[in-house]
Structure 1
Amino acid sequence: MFVVCSRNKSSLKSLSRLVVQPHQGSIYSACFSHDGTKIASCGSSKTLRVFKSTSGEKLLEIQAHDDEVLCCAFSPDDRLLATCSSDRKVKYLCCVPGLECGAWDSDEDV
């Protein structure tokens, strides 16, 4: 996974770059926390992983679903992380310590 961010959209001088190898298989989604300190990623490996955005250190790895994880997103306060999967479930996790806080099941695609 190659992640790029810049606070100044008009200049590449403030560009930061971080390369991590988070998953086996495809990565379908990656997102920054709102405070910019964490990056979450998910994909075909059925896992959700969270890294420090400054160093790439892995903070959390969890098998979040029974099928590929299609998308992940932080809540506005960065305390929760939501995921949706091909297993037709939407889950939300407490970022610390990485426990599932709730889930929704659907008979239809999510």
Structure 2
Amino acid sequence: MYKIKEKCSDFIVKEIFSPELKEKGQYVYFVLEKENYNTIDAIIAIAKKLEVPVASFGFAGNKDKNAQTMQYVSVKLHEKKKKLLEDLRLKDIKITVIGLSDVPISLGDHGGNEFLIRVKN
């Protein structure tokens, strides 16, 4: 019998998205790499650390908890909180700030997902 998703590294999801970034903007865009969290729970954890409302975040699609995932997220932040986001450390979450925009990321904005699935015998 074949097995999948025994470990998070057995199921890798990368979001396909090419955001239009600007020099200035009220939304900070970042790449969220995570495992052992679904998208909502990861955003809740980040929002708590930054002390900002969950509603200030935008993302194109929900990603699995039991996977290694990479996706794009936007958050409406004041300049002083941007540094906090860049320096934020959470277990199983990596954040890489990539730029700014005038518009948030919304559900469905991405071009799809790329999957790498490890099947074991």
Q: TM-score of the superposition, structure 1-length normalised?
A: 0.28
Q: TM-score of the superposition, structure 2-length normalised?
A: 0.27
State which structure, 1 or 2, has the greater radius of gyration over its C-alpha atoms.
2
- Larger fraction in helix: 2
- Larger fraction in strand: 1
